[in-house]
Amino acid sequence: MRAIIQRVSSASVTVNSEVISSIGEGLMVLVGLGTDDTQDDIETIANKILNLKAFPDPKSGGAWKASVKDRGGEILSVSQFTLFAKIVKNKPDFHKAMAAESSKSMYATFLERMGALYDPSKIKDGQFGAMMSVGIVNEGPVTFTLDSRETVSTPGTSTPTASATSSGSQGKTLAQRNAEKALRRSAWEAGKKSGEPSLPGAQDEIQRGSPEDKE
């Protein structure tokens, strides 16, 4: 199961020139279901979405401190089977996407689970299978990519494999990334003492920190 999550100040879905769903501050979520997805995948993605610290703290203003639940925000979800497309000779192949009938049922289960874990009135939907026009105002912009088979922590926590991380860290575990960061820190400190150049970008990364450090 895959999801594209965007932090928005507003979002809406229009079908046949009529706005059928809209939200204010919250998350716009595009959801794709694969052929072998199960209830476990739903549980993982639902918890990740609801607990992802995509917002600043409402009191301190600190970045990456609050989830959509913490902010009392809304979620607009739209089914997006193209997230499982495989590009073959410049043409999309959708064989890995779940069939429409099964996908519709499982997607409905996903929405129900989101409501049960949060507040049903805060969960909005598009129109399954329809040609939709989706409008968003992405704040940041801030966009994350989730895959239930690639997340690095258990349901209920908020450390996804996300587009906000550097491409070099994609697919690595949190422990691996922390170990690499420790090595870069040691190299930078050694270079500082000896007067020799440290690894490129080491000082910047140490000062900036990673998304995990800022939670």
Among residues 166, 120, 123, 116, the alpha carbon closest in space to that of 31 is found at 123
Domain co-membership, 189 together with 141 = no
Domain co-membership, 183 together with 156 = no
pLDDT value at residue 61: 85
Among residues 92, 211, 101, 97, the alpha carbon closest in space to that of 161 is found at 211
| Beta carbons within 10 angstroms of residue 179's beta carbon | 12
Domain co-membership, 101 together with 185 = no
Domain co-membership, 140 together with 101 = yes
Buried b / exposed e across 90-118, counting CB within 10 Å, b at 16+? eeeeeeebbeeeebeebbeebbebbeebb
Answering whether pTM is above 0.85, one says no
Domain co-membership, 124 together with 186 = no
Residue 149 lies in a domain: yes
Confidence of residue 182 (pLDDT cuts 50, 70, 90): low
- Classify the C-alpha dihedral 182-208-9-122 as positive or negative: positive
Domain co-membership, 83 together with 189 = no
Among residues 37, 35, 160, the alpha carbon closest in space to that of 110 is found at 37
Catalytic residue check, 154? no
Straight-line distance from the first to the last Cα atom of the chain, in angstroms, rounded to the nearest whole number = 25
Residue 181 lies in a domain: yes
Domain co-membership, 48 together with 107 = yes
- What is the rounded CA–CA span in Å between residue 83 and residue 102? 16
Pairing of strands 2-15, 26-32: antiparallel
**32-86 pLDDT tens trace:** 999 999 999 999 999 999 999 999 998 888 999 999 999 999 999 999 999 999 9
Domain co-membership, 112 together with 26 = yes
CATH number at residue 113: 3.50.80.10
Residue 193 lies in a domain: yes
Tokens of 31: 């959801």
Per the structure, the complete domain to which residue 188 belongs is given by: 174-208
Domain co-membership, 61 together with 88 = yes
38, 82, 109, 154: the catalytic one is 82
Domain co-membership, 103 together with 197 = no
pLDDT value at residue 47: 97
- What is the rounded CA–CA span in Å between residue 112 and residue 103? 14
